[in-house]
Amino acid sequence: MSTDHSDHSDHSDHSVAPLDGLQHFGRFGVDAALLRDALGAALGRGGDWADLFFEHSVSQSLSLRDGAVNSAYSGVTLGVGVRVVRGDQTGYAYTEDLSRPAVLSAARSAALIAEGDARGALPPSWNATPHPARYPVAREWSSVPLERKLPLLRQLNEEAFAADPRMVKVEVSLAHSDAVVFLVESSGATHCDRQPMTRVAMSCTAAEGEGPAARRESNSASFAARAGFEFLTPERLTRLREQAVQRTLFLFDAEIAPIGGEVPVVLAAGAAGILLHEAIGHGMEADFNRKNTSIYSDRLHQRIAPKGVTIVDDGTRVGDRGAVNVDDEGVEGQRTVLVEDGVLRSYMHDRISAQHYGVAPTGNGRRESFHHAPVPRMRSTYMTAGEHDPADIIRSVKRGVYAETFTNGQVNIGPGDFTFYIKTGYLIEDGRLTRPIKDTNIIGNGPEVLERTDMVGADFTFDEGGWTCGKAGQSVPVSLGMPTVRVSKITVGGVGG
């Protein structure tokens, strides 16, 4: 599972011929005249610029519970969002109805953000923009019959039950989607992107003992990527099953951390990137900073972490859940260095914040769907590898916590306070991992914790889990990575002193 970061980064992007958005959405009645008339209506009251975001997504999921694949879901998302921008003000309207009257009505509603006369003219033609192809799909889900998927889920179920007699319940789910988005800018540029996503997850419940005295534990694991059927390799499915089973059984020996208070915490390589996501990431999304509401608003180009700490938000990792060919406002996905050797170098920008700061947008303008206007969002956020041996990092701690797997986190942007929830880990005593721990929240302050990140391991690991980030009512897929690091002290929410 451990991978070196450079093995996965895409340093050889190749552009492909742009998809034909008009052809795709033509089947729903969209034509060049509608694009022109809708953008004309959108700018009819003097907006600076406007865009149309068409989306057509087909999704399917299968669920195995109680030994049978006996539940499925399919969904179609179809609609358009119209955005009008004037300065840093945004008018937005959306509709599922792609008929001409409905789209024009939405455009006129979005136009209300401006109060004046139409300015300028639309360009004479549309210019389809090429973008990198970072979501290679070897086998389209549409070519995979249901009968081919069902045995994979059944096999995982059988293997989980065979793995340990304590297993009492197993759930397996497989979800995949294929979206086509078509962005049309009033500048004349158009962008069409096809966005696959696959997620496979497994949950286990095991029991020790019988009757009312039985003790039960549950845990889960998941993998996700922008990929097709080829993502479900036997090796990956075996790891999924092993992780779900082992993480569940681990809990029988574990207890909530016997520590309440500030101690050193060692974050295991991989999913501990959730610390970056919460402690650093959200606070560096530029919308909060241009509004001056982030704790990092005054910190650009200042040292905010020890030397040796470099943090990146990256949309270029091929096949990654957080990969972005082109963001949801037409900017190519990029690798953005947020913190370089301890110094805050850049926020994550959408077009509006980039204009505010007088910099180029970074390709972070993302949205959940056409129901929302884009805002700055993370993609794949990780810390690059340092030089310490992970074993040395653990050995350096007299008494503390080793945090290995996580379920969720949250941040308050203004004060910078954040949390993440440790599902499994260990107590560290005299430099060794000793008692297993579980279900323990960690709470800290982002800038303070960054300053206390005093050892960075050489073992960068990318986490393949299916992480989803929520902000302003929008959920987007993201990913995480981290080498082993030591935070010299942070509050552990266990029991005891």
Partner 1 sequence: MTQLLDQTRRVADLALSLGASEARVSLGRNRGVNLGWRDGRIETLEDHTSQGLSVSLFVDGRFSSHSTGDLRPEALEPFLREAVAMTRLLEPDPARSLPDPARYAGRAAVDLDSVDAGYGDVTAERRRDEARALEELTRDAAAALSAGRGGPAVEVVSVSTGVGDHRGQSARVHTNGFEGEREGTSFYASASLTLKEADGKRPAGGGFTYRAHRGDLRPLEVVAREAAEEAFGKLGAQKLATGKYTTLVKAEAVGRLLGALLAPLSGGALQQRRSLWEGRLETQIASPLLTLRDDPHVPRGLSSSLWDGDGFATAPRPVIEAGVLKTFLIDDYHAKKMSLERGEPVWATGASLHSLQWDLGPLGFDALVADVRDGVMIDSFLGGNSNATTGELSLGCAGRRIRDGRLAEAVTEVNLSGNLKDLWRQLVAVGADSYPEGASNTPSCVFEGVQLSGV
Residues 473 to 492: which contact partner 1 by CB under 8 A?
491-492
Q: Concatenated DSSP letters for 256-322?
A: E-S-EEEEEEEEPTTTTHHHHIIIIIGGGBHHHHHTT-STTTT-TTSB-S-TT--EEEES-STT-TT
- CA 165 vs CA 151, 162, 168, 406: distances in Å: 22, 7, 8, 26
The answer to the question of residue 458 lying near partner 1 (CB under 8 A) is no
Per CB under 8 A, contacts with partner 1 among 241-280 are: 251, 256, 260-262, 278
Q: Which of 273, 281, 400, 494 binds partner 1 (CB under 8 A)?
A: 494
Q: Which is nearer to partner 1, 232 or 318 (CB)?
A: 232
Interacting stretch for partner 1, rule CB under 8 A, among 62-70, 176-184, 335-343, 451-459?
62-70
- Interface with partner 1 (CB under 8 A), residue total 94
Taking the CA atoms of residue 134, residue 477, residue 235 and residue 69 in that order, the dihedral angle to the nearest 10 degrees is -120
Q: Which is nearer to partner 1, 21 or 132 (CB)?
A: 21
365 lies in the site for partner 1, by CB under 8 A: no
Pick the closer one to partner 1 by CB: 198 or 248: 248
Burial of 268-285, coded b for 16+ CB within 10 Å and e otherwise, reads bbbbbbbbbbbbbbbbbb
Residues 8-27 that bind partner 1 (CB under 8 A): none
**DSSP helix/strand/coil, 57:** strand
Is 373 near partner 1 (CB under 8 A)? Answer: yes
Integer Cα distance of 325 and 17 in angstroms: 13
Exactly one of 13, 37, 40, 77 binds partner 1 (CB under 8 A); that residue is 77
The Cα 269–Cα 271 span in angstroms is 7
CA distances for 397 relative to 305, 306, 401, angstroms: 20, 19, 9
Which one among 16, 31, 73, 391 touches partner 1, defined by CB under 8 A?
Answer: 73
Report the residue number, 93 or 309, with the smaller CB distance to partner 1: 93
Question: How far from 183 is each of 46, 74, 196, CA to CA, in Å?
Answer: 21, 25, 17
CB 132 within 8 A of CB 331: no
Nearer to partner 1, 82 or 393 (CB): 82
**Helix, coil or strand: residue 484:** coil
Residue among 291 and 399 whose Cβ is closer to partner 1? 291
| 155 touches partner 1 by CB under 8 A | no
177 binds partner 1 (CB under 8 A): no
Site for partner 1 (CB under 8 A): which residue of 129, 187, 412, 468? 412
Tokens of 273: 């990137």
> Out of 16, 112, 162, 360, which residue is the one contacting partner 1 (CB under 8 A)?
112
> What is the smallest separation between the CB atom of 261 and partner 1, expressed in angstroms?
4
- The per-type count for the chain, helices as H runs and strands as E runs, is 11, 24
Inter-residue contact 401 to 440 (CB < 8 Å): yes
Q: Does 409 bind partner 1 (CB under 8 A)?
A: yes
Distance CA 295, CA 470 (A): 19
Tokens 């943090």 belong to: 311
Binding mask 122-151 for partner 1 (x = CB under 8 A): ------------------------xx--x-
The three-state (H, E, C) secondary structure of 402-428, written as one string: EEEEEEEEEECCCCCEEEEEEEEEEEE
Establish if 210 lies at the interface with partner 1 (CB under 8 A): no
Residue number, 9 or 412, with CB nearest to partner 1 = 412
Using CB under 8 A, pick the residue from 9, 18, 48, 78 that binds partner 1: 78
- According to the binding rule CB under 8 A, does residue 381 interact with partner 1? no
The region of 128-136, 193-201, 294-302, 310-318 touching partner 1 under the rule CB under 8 A is 294-302
Nearer Cβ to partner 1, position 42 or 456?
A: 42
Is 461:232 a contact under the CB 8 Å cutoff?
no
- Does 216 engage in binding with partner 1 (CB under 8 A)? yes
Residue 68 interacting with partner 1 (CB under 8 A): yes
**209 belongs to the binding site for partner 1 (CB under 8 A):** no
Kindly state whether residue 495 participates in binding partner 1, applying the rule CB under 8 A: yes
Task: Transcribe 436-457 into DSSP letters.
Answer: EEEEEEEEEEHHHHHHTEEEEB
User: How many Cα neighbours within 13 Å face the side chain of 379?
Assistant: 34
Please, which of residues 318-357 interact with partner 1 by CB under 8 A?
none
Region near partner 1 per CB under 8 A, out of 82-90, 178-186, 380-388, 426-434: 82-90
Q: Could you say which residues in the range 427-446 bind partner 1, by CB under 8 A?
A: 438-445
Instruction: Report angle CA 290, 294, 295 to the nearest 5 degrees.
Output: 135
> Cβ closer to partner 1: 73 or 359?
73
Question: 88 and 356 in contact (C-beta within 8 Å)?
Answer: yes
CB of 93 or CB of 326, closer to partner 1: 93
Span near partner 1 by CB under 8 A; candidates 2-10, 103-111, 319-327, 389-397: 103-111
Task: Give min distance, CB of 65 to partner 1, in A.
Answer: 7
